[in-house]
Structure 1
Protein backbone atom coordinates (compact mmCIF):
# COMPACT_ATOMS: atom_id res chain seq x y z
CA UNK A 1 0.00 0.00 0.00
CA UNK A 2 1.36 3.42 -0.96
CA UNK A 3 1.71 5.85 1.91
CA UNK A 4 -0.48 8.91 1.95
CA UNK A 5 0.77 12.48 2.02
CA UNK A 6 0.70 15.09 4.75
CA UNK A 7 -0.17 18.36 2.99
CA UNK A 8 0.52 21.47 5.07
CA UNK A 9 -1.40 24.51 3.84
CA UNK A 10 -0.54 27.85 5.37
CA UNK A 11 -0.22 31.52 4.63
CA UNK A 12 -0.88 34.92 6.19
CA UNK A 13 -4.07 35.74 8.08
CA UNK A 14 -6.86 36.75 5.69
CA UNK A 15 -5.44 34.94 2.68
CA UNK A 16 -8.34 32.46 2.66
CA UNK A 17 -6.79 29.24 4.00
CA UNK A 18 -10.04 28.02 5.57
CA UNK A 19 -12.14 28.84 2.51
CA UNK A 20 -9.73 27.09 0.13
CA UNK A 21 -9.42 24.08 2.45
CA UNK A 22 -13.22 23.72 2.70
CA UNK A 23 -13.61 23.98 -1.09
CA UNK A 24 -10.79 21.50 -1.65
CA UNK A 25 -12.38 18.92 0.64
CA UNK A 26 -15.67 19.22 -1.28
CA UNK A 27 -13.80 18.53 -4.51
CA UNK A 28 -11.73 15.74 -2.92
CA UNK A 29 -13.91 14.14 -0.23
CA UNK A 30 -11.30 11.41 0.27
CA UNK A 31 -8.88 14.03 1.60
CA UNK A 32 -8.70 13.72 5.39
CA UNK A 33 -8.74 16.90 7.49
CA UNK A 34 -6.21 16.94 10.32
CA UNK A 35 -8.04 17.07 13.66
CA UNK A 36 -6.46 19.21 16.37
CA UNK A 37 -6.36 18.48 20.08
CA UNK A 38 -7.58 21.23 22.39
CA UNK A 39 -8.24 21.91 26.05
CA UNK A 40 -11.19 24.22 25.40
CA UNK A 41 -14.69 23.01 26.17
CA UNK A 42 -16.76 21.55 23.31
CA UNK A 43 -19.29 23.93 21.78
CA UNK A 44 -22.86 22.85 21.02
CA UNK A 45 -22.85 20.22 18.29
CA UNK A 46 -19.10 19.55 18.40
CA UNK A 47 -18.08 15.89 18.62
CA UNK A 48 -14.89 14.49 20.11
CA UNK A 49 -12.74 12.93 17.39
CA UNK A 50 -14.63 14.76 14.64
CA UNK A 51 -14.24 18.48 15.32
CA UNK A 52 -11.43 18.21 17.86
CA UNK A 53 -9.82 15.75 20.23
CA UNK A 54 -10.98 17.33 23.49
CA UNK A 55 -8.42 16.96 26.28
CA UNK A 56 -8.06 17.99 29.88
CA UNK A 57 -5.15 20.37 30.49
CA UNK A 58 -3.16 17.67 32.31
CA UNK A 59 -3.62 15.29 29.35
CA UNK A 60 -2.45 17.95 26.91
CA UNK A 61 0.62 18.81 28.97
CA UNK A 62 1.48 15.11 29.08
CA UNK A 63 1.22 14.97 25.28
CA UNK A 64 3.68 17.87 25.07
CA UNK A 65 6.12 16.16 27.45
CA UNK A 66 5.90 12.89 25.50
CA UNK A 67 6.48 14.64 22.13
CA UNK A 68 3.08 13.47 20.88
CA UNK A 69 2.33 16.74 19.05
CA UNK A 70 3.70 17.99 15.74
CA UNK A 71 3.11 21.54 16.97
CA UNK A 72 1.16 23.26 19.70
CA UNK A 73 0.28 26.72 20.94
CA UNK A 74 -1.60 28.39 23.78
CA UNK A 75 -4.34 30.84 22.82
CA UNK A 76 -6.61 32.74 25.24
CA UNK A 77 -5.90 30.30 28.04
CA UNK A 78 -6.51 27.15 25.99
CA UNK A 79 -4.05 24.79 24.31
CA UNK A 80 -4.26 23.65 20.69
CA UNK A 81 -2.03 21.16 18.88
CA UNK A 82 -1.67 18.56 16.13
CA UNK A 83 -1.41 14.94 17.37
CA UNK A 84 1.34 13.00 15.59
CA UNK A 85 -0.44 9.64 15.98
CA UNK A 86 -3.53 10.69 14.00
CA UNK A 87 -1.36 12.02 11.16
CA UNK A 88 0.86 8.94 11.04
CA UNK A 89 -2.08 6.50 11.20
CA UNK A 90 -3.75 8.31 8.31
CA UNK A 91 -0.77 8.36 5.96
CA UNK A 92 0.19 4.77 6.87
CA UNK A 93 -3.33 3.75 5.84
CA UNK A 94 -2.60 5.25 2.40
CA UNK A 95 -4.78 8.33 2.83
CA UNK A 96 -3.79 11.94 2.23
CA UNK A 97 -4.30 14.37 5.09
CA UNK A 98 -4.33 18.17 5.00
CA UNK A 99 -3.27 20.40 7.85
CA UNK A 100 -4.42 24.03 7.67
CA UNK A 101 -2.19 26.06 9.94
CA UNK A 102 -0.48 29.41 10.39
CA UNK A 103 3.07 30.00 9.16
CA UNK A 104 4.76 29.64 12.55
CA UNK A 105 2.96 26.34 13.16
CA UNK A 106 3.96 25.05 9.74
CA UNK A 107 7.63 25.72 10.41
CA UNK A 108 7.35 23.79 13.69
CA UNK A 109 5.79 20.86 11.83
CA UNK A 110 8.63 20.93 9.29
CA UNK A 111 11.18 20.38 12.06
CA UNK A 112 9.73 16.94 12.83
CA UNK A 113 7.99 16.10 9.52
CA UNK A 114 10.23 17.43 6.71
CA UNK A 115 8.83 14.91 4.19
CA UNK A 116 5.41 16.60 4.21
CA UNK A 117 4.28 18.76 1.28
CA UNK A 118 4.39 22.45 2.23
CA UNK A 119 2.12 24.82 0.30
CA UNK A 120 2.08 28.57 0.91
CA UNK A 121 -1.14 30.35 -0.04
CA UNK A 122 -0.26 33.80 -1.36
CA UNK A 123 -2.63 36.79 -1.70
CA UNK A 124 -2.83 38.36 -5.19
CA UNK A 125 -1.44 41.53 -3.60
CA UNK A 126 -1.11 43.24 -0.22
CA UNK A 127 -3.88 45.65 -1.27
CA UNK A 128 -6.20 42.71 -1.99
CA UNK A 129 -5.30 41.14 1.36
CA UNK A 130 -6.15 44.43 3.06
CA UNK A 131 -9.52 44.51 1.27
CA UNK A 132 -10.30 40.96 2.41
CA UNK A 133 -9.44 41.67 6.04
CA UNK A 134 -11.41 44.94 6.00
CA UNK A 135 -14.32 43.12 4.35
CA UNK A 136 -14.73 40.97 7.45
CA UNK A 137 -15.80 44.06 9.37
CA UNK A 138 -14.53 42.54 12.61
CA UNK A 139 -11.13 44.24 13.11
CA UNK A 140 -10.15 47.75 14.10
CA UNK A 141 -7.79 49.86 11.98
CA UNK A 142 -4.89 49.11 14.35
CA UNK A 143 -5.47 45.37 14.18
CA UNK A 144 -5.68 45.49 10.38
CA UNK A 145 -2.39 47.40 10.24
CA UNK A 146 -0.80 44.82 12.55
CA UNK A 147 -2.12 41.89 10.47
CA UNK A 148 -0.77 43.42 7.25
CA UNK A 149 2.63 44.00 8.85
CA UNK A 150 2.69 40.37 10.03
CA UNK A 151 1.58 39.18 6.58
CA UNK A 152 4.54 40.88 4.92
CA UNK A 153 6.90 39.24 7.43
CA UNK A 154 5.28 35.83 6.87
CA UNK A 155 5.53 36.13 3.08
CA UNK A 156 9.29 36.45 3.59
CA UNK A 157 9.19 32.86 4.95
CA UNK A 158 7.93 31.54 1.60
CA UNK A 159 11.45 30.22 0.96
CA UNK A 160 10.81 27.42 3.47
CA UNK A 161 7.91 26.00 1.41
CA UNK A 162 7.79 23.61 -1.54
CA UNK A 163 5.06 25.43 -3.46
CA UNK A 164 3.43 28.85 -3.71
CA UNK A 165 -0.21 29.10 -4.82
CA UNK A 166 -1.80 32.49 -5.46
CA UNK A 167 -5.35 32.61 -4.11
CA UNK A 168 -6.87 34.83 -6.80
CA UNK A 169 -9.94 32.65 -7.30
CA UNK A 170 -10.85 29.75 -5.04
CA UNK A 171 -11.41 27.28 -7.90
CA UNK A 172 -8.03 28.16 -9.43
CA UNK A 173 -6.22 27.70 -6.13
CA UNK A 174 -7.94 24.34 -5.56
CA UNK A 175 -7.04 23.12 -9.06
CA UNK A 176 -3.38 23.97 -8.50
CA UNK A 177 -3.30 22.22 -5.12
CA UNK A 178 -4.93 19.13 -6.65
CA UNK A 179 -2.22 19.14 -9.33
CA UNK A 180 0.47 19.40 -6.66
CA UNK A 181 -0.96 16.39 -4.82
CA UNK A 182 -0.97 14.31 -8.03
CA UNK A 183 2.61 15.37 -8.83
CA UNK A 184 3.81 14.57 -5.31
CA UNK A 185 2.43 11.04 -5.53
CA UNK A 186 4.46 10.63 -8.73
CA UNK A 187 7.74 11.79 -7.17
CA UNK A 188 10.56 9.36 -7.91
CA UNK A 189 11.63 8.91 -4.29
CA UNK A 190 8.07 8.03 -3.19
CA UNK A 191 7.79 5.45 -5.99
CA UNK A 192 11.12 3.86 -5.05
CA UNK A 193 10.23 3.93 -1.34
CA UNK A 194 6.92 2.17 -1.94
CA UNK A 195 8.42 -0.40 -4.31
CA UNK A 196 11.16 -1.19 -1.81
CA UNK A 197 8.51 -1.86 0.87
CA UNK A 198 6.64 -4.18 -1.51
CA UNK A 199 9.84 -6.17 -2.12
CA UNK A 200 10.44 -6.47 1.63
Structure 2
Protein backbone atom coordinates (compact mmCIF):
# COMPACT_ATOMS: atom_id res chain seq x y z
CA UNK A 1 0.00 0.00 0.00
CA UNK A 2 0.93 3.65 -0.27
CA UNK A 3 -0.66 7.04 -0.76
CA UNK A 4 -1.42 7.82 -4.41
CA UNK A 5 1.77 8.77 -6.23
CA UNK A 6 4.23 7.09 -3.86
CA UNK A 7 5.00 4.39 -6.43
CA UNK A 8 3.28 1.18 -5.33
CA UNK A 9 1.77 0.45 -8.76
CA UNK A 10 5.08 1.10 -10.55
CA UNK A 11 6.96 -1.15 -8.12
CA UNK A 12 4.25 -3.81 -8.43
CA UNK A 13 4.49 -3.69 -12.23
CA UNK A 14 8.27 -4.06 -12.15
CA UNK A 15 7.97 -6.93 -9.68
CA UNK A 16 5.50 -8.78 -11.93
CA UNK A 17 7.74 -8.37 -14.98
CA UNK A 18 10.74 -9.77 -13.12
CA UNK A 19 9.11 -12.54 -11.08
CA UNK A 20 7.05 -14.94 -13.16
CA UNK A 21 5.93 -16.92 -10.12
CA UNK A 22 3.96 -13.88 -8.92
CA UNK A 23 0.57 -12.89 -10.27
CA UNK A 24 -1.48 -9.78 -9.67
CA UNK A 25 -4.86 -9.83 -8.00
CA UNK A 26 -6.95 -7.63 -10.31
CA UNK A 27 -9.27 -5.48 -8.23
CA UNK A 28 -12.73 -4.27 -9.15
CA UNK A 29 -13.41 -0.54 -8.99
CA UNK A 30 -16.23 1.89 -9.65
CA UNK A 31 -13.89 4.74 -10.62
CA UNK A 32 -13.44 5.88 -14.21
CA UNK A 33 -10.71 4.25 -16.28
CA UNK A 34 -7.58 6.34 -16.83
CA UNK A 35 -6.33 6.71 -20.43
CA UNK A 36 -3.27 4.52 -19.79
CA UNK A 37 -5.23 1.70 -18.13
CA UNK A 38 -6.43 -1.50 -19.77
CA UNK A 39 -9.75 -2.92 -18.57
CA UNK A 40 -9.44 -6.34 -16.90
CA UNK A 41 -5.64 -5.96 -16.75
CA UNK A 42 -5.24 -3.02 -14.39
CA UNK A 43 -8.77 -3.17 -12.93
CA UNK A 44 -12.16 -4.66 -13.61
CA UNK A 45 -14.19 -1.46 -14.10
CA UNK A 46 -17.75 -1.96 -12.88
CA UNK A 47 -20.79 0.09 -11.86
CA UNK A 48 -21.80 0.88 -8.30
CA UNK A 49 -24.80 -1.51 -8.47
CA UNK A 50 -22.52 -4.31 -9.74
CA UNK A 51 -20.09 -3.60 -6.90
CA UNK A 52 -22.87 -3.64 -4.32
CA UNK A 53 -24.12 -7.00 -5.62
CA UNK A 54 -20.63 -8.49 -5.34
CA UNK A 55 -20.17 -7.06 -1.85
CA UNK A 56 -23.57 -8.24 -0.64
CA UNK A 57 -22.99 -11.75 -2.05
CA UNK A 58 -19.66 -11.96 -0.15
CA UNK A 59 -17.83 -12.26 -3.48
CA UNK A 60 -15.19 -9.76 -2.31
CA UNK A 61 -12.34 -10.79 -0.05
CA UNK A 62 -11.89 -7.15 0.96
CA UNK A 63 -13.39 -3.85 -0.11
CA UNK A 64 -13.14 -0.17 0.71
CA UNK A 65 -14.28 3.25 -0.36
CA UNK A 66 -11.24 5.26 -1.43
CA UNK A 67 -11.30 8.86 -2.71
CA UNK A 68 -15.06 8.56 -3.29
CA UNK A 69 -14.90 5.33 -5.31
CA UNK A 70 -15.29 1.67 -4.36
CA UNK A 71 -12.48 -0.86 -4.72
CA UNK A 72 -12.46 -4.56 -3.89
CA UNK A 73 -10.68 -7.88 -4.38
CA UNK A 74 -12.70 -10.67 -6.01
CA UNK A 75 -12.60 -13.68 -3.69
CA UNK A 76 -12.63 -16.62 -6.14
CA UNK A 77 -9.34 -15.98 -8.05
CA UNK A 78 -7.42 -15.43 -4.80
CA UNK A 79 -8.76 -18.55 -3.09
CA UNK A 80 -8.04 -20.60 -6.23
CA UNK A 81 -4.44 -19.31 -6.42
CA UNK A 82 -3.85 -20.00 -2.73
CA UNK A 83 -5.23 -23.53 -3.04
CA UNK A 84 -2.76 -24.11 -5.89
CA UNK A 85 0.16 -22.66 -3.89
CA UNK A 86 0.65 -19.59 -6.10
CA UNK A 87 1.81 -16.19 -4.80
CA UNK A 88 -0.52 -13.23 -5.31
CA UNK A 89 0.40 -9.55 -5.36
CA UNK A 90 -2.18 -7.04 -4.12
CA UNK A 91 -2.01 -3.37 -5.15
CA UNK A 92 -4.50 -2.11 -2.56
CA UNK A 93 -4.97 0.67 -0.02
CA UNK A 94 -4.52 0.41 3.75
CA UNK A 95 -8.19 -0.46 4.38
CA UNK A 96 -8.01 -3.48 2.10
CA UNK A 97 -4.61 -4.49 3.46
CA UNK A 98 -5.94 -4.41 7.01
CA UNK A 99 -8.88 -6.64 6.04
CA UNK A 100 -6.55 -9.14 4.35
CA UNK A 101 -4.29 -9.20 7.41
CA UNK A 102 -7.29 -9.89 9.65
CA UNK A 103 -8.60 -12.70 7.43
CA UNK A 104 -5.36 -14.37 6.30
CA UNK A 105 -2.57 -13.12 8.59
CA UNK A 106 -0.35 -16.19 8.20
CA UNK A 107 -0.40 -15.85 4.41
CA UNK A 108 -0.03 -12.06 4.10
CA UNK A 109 3.20 -10.06 3.87
CA UNK A 110 2.42 -6.34 3.94
CA UNK A 111 4.65 -3.58 2.56
CA UNK A 112 3.98 0.16 2.81
CA UNK A 113 5.64 2.52 0.31
CA UNK A 114 6.37 6.05 1.50
CA UNK A 115 7.25 9.06 -0.67
CA UNK A 116 10.53 10.83 0.15
CA UNK A 117 8.70 14.14 0.73
CA UNK A 118 5.19 15.53 0.40
CA UNK A 119 6.46 17.92 -2.28
CA UNK A 120 7.73 14.99 -4.34
CA UNK A 121 4.41 13.19 -3.86
CA UNK A 122 2.57 16.21 -5.25
CA UNK A 123 5.00 16.44 -8.18
CA UNK A 124 4.49 12.76 -9.05
CA UNK A 125 0.72 13.15 -9.07
CA UNK A 126 1.02 16.11 -11.45
CA UNK A 127 3.57 14.33 -13.66
CA UNK A 128 1.23 11.36 -13.99
CA UNK A 129 -1.13 13.78 -15.80
CA UNK A 130 -4.08 11.40 -15.67
CA UNK A 131 -6.20 12.99 -12.95
CA UNK A 132 -8.00 16.31 -12.74
CA UNK A 133 -6.82 19.00 -10.32
CA UNK A 134 -9.79 18.18 -8.06
CA UNK A 135 -8.81 14.51 -7.95
CA UNK A 136 -5.17 15.40 -7.24
CA UNK A 137 -6.24 17.72 -4.41
CA UNK A 138 -8.41 14.95 -2.91
CA UNK A 139 -5.59 12.41 -3.15
CA UNK A 140 -3.11 14.80 -1.53
CA UNK A 141 -5.57 15.68 1.23
CA UNK A 142 -6.06 11.98 1.99
CA UNK A 143 -2.37 11.11 1.79
CA UNK A 144 -1.51 12.19 5.35
CA UNK A 145 -4.14 9.94 6.94
CA UNK A 146 -2.96 7.08 4.69
CA UNK A 147 0.69 7.62 5.67
CA UNK A 148 -0.30 7.52 9.34
CA UNK A 149 -1.12 3.80 8.86
CA UNK A 150 2.53 2.84 8.17
CA UNK A 151 2.98 1.14 11.55
CA UNK A 152 0.40 -1.51 10.63
CA UNK A 153 2.68 -3.02 7.96
CA UNK A 154 5.38 -5.68 8.17
CA UNK A 155 7.81 -3.66 6.05
CA UNK A 156 8.17 0.02 5.09
CA UNK A 157 10.04 1.26 2.01
CA UNK A 158 10.88 4.90 1.21
CA UNK A 159 10.64 5.31 -2.57
CA UNK A 160 13.31 7.95 -3.07
CA UNK A 161 14.99 5.95 -5.82
CA UNK A 162 12.77 3.59 -7.82
CA UNK A 163 15.50 1.02 -8.57
CA UNK A 164 16.47 0.80 -4.91
CA UNK A 165 12.83 0.60 -3.77
CA UNK A 166 12.16 -2.18 -6.28
CA UNK A 167 15.30 -4.05 -5.16
CA UNK A 168 14.21 -3.82 -1.51
CA UNK A 169 10.71 -5.12 -2.27
CA UNK A 170 12.19 -7.99 -4.33
CA UNK A 171 14.45 -8.91 -1.42
CA UNK A 172 11.47 -8.93 0.96
CA UNK A 173 9.48 -11.23 -1.34
CA UNK A 174 12.39 -13.64 -1.77
CA UNK A 175 13.20 -13.72 1.96
CA UNK A 176 9.56 -14.36 2.89
CA UNK A 177 9.40 -17.29 0.48
CA UNK A 178 12.18 -19.15 2.30
CA UNK A 179 10.85 -18.61 5.81
CA UNK A 180 10.59 -21.91 7.64
CA UNK A 181 6.84 -21.66 8.18
CA UNK A 182 6.22 -21.04 4.45
CA UNK A 183 8.28 -23.99 3.16
CA UNK A 184 5.79 -26.75 2.43
CA UNK A 185 7.31 -30.19 2.75
CA UNK A 186 10.37 -28.95 4.63
CA UNK A 187 9.70 -31.11 7.70
CA UNK A 188 9.56 -34.26 5.59
CA UNK A 189 12.66 -33.21 3.62
CA UNK A 190 14.72 -32.64 6.77
CA UNK A 191 13.48 -35.90 8.33
CA UNK A 192 14.57 -37.82 5.22
CA UNK A 193 17.87 -35.97 5.16
CA UNK A 194 18.63 -36.95 8.74
CA UNK A 195 17.89 -40.63 8.13
CA UNK A 196 19.84 -40.83 4.88
CA UNK A 197 23.10 -42.78 4.99
CA UNK A 198 25.96 -41.45 2.85
CA UNK A 199 26.81 -43.80 -0.03
CA UNK A 200 30.51 -42.93 -0.46
TM-score, normalized by length of structure 2? 0.73
Q: Which residue, 58, 61, 64 being the options, matches 1:70?
A: 61
Identify the residue that residue 153 of structure 1 maps to in structure 2: 145
Q: Which residue, 110, 114, 117 being the options, matches 1:118?
A: 110
Which structure has the higher relative contact order (CA within 8 Å, separation 6+)?
1
Alignment RMSD (CA, Å):
3.6
- 1:28 positional shift: 1.4
1:172 aligns with 2:154: no
Tell me, yes or no, if the aligned pair for 2:64 and 2:95 is still in contact at 8 Å: no
Larger radius of gyration: 2
Q: Structure 2, unaligned stretches of length 5 or more?
A: 192-200
Identify the residue that residue 15 of structure 2 maps to in structure 1: 24
- 1:92 positional shift: 2.5
Tell me, yes or no, if the aligned pair for 1:23 and 1:170 is still in contact at 8 Å: no
The separation in 2 between residues aligned to 1:113 and 1:146, in whole angstroms, is: 31
- 1:98 positional shift: 0.4
Identify the residue that residue 122 of structure 2 maps to in structure 1: 130
- 1:126 positional shift: 1.6
Q: State the secondary structure of the residue aligned to 1:15.
A: coil
The separation in 2 between residues aligned to 1:47 and 1:149, in whole angstroms, is: 27
1:97 aligns with 2:78: no
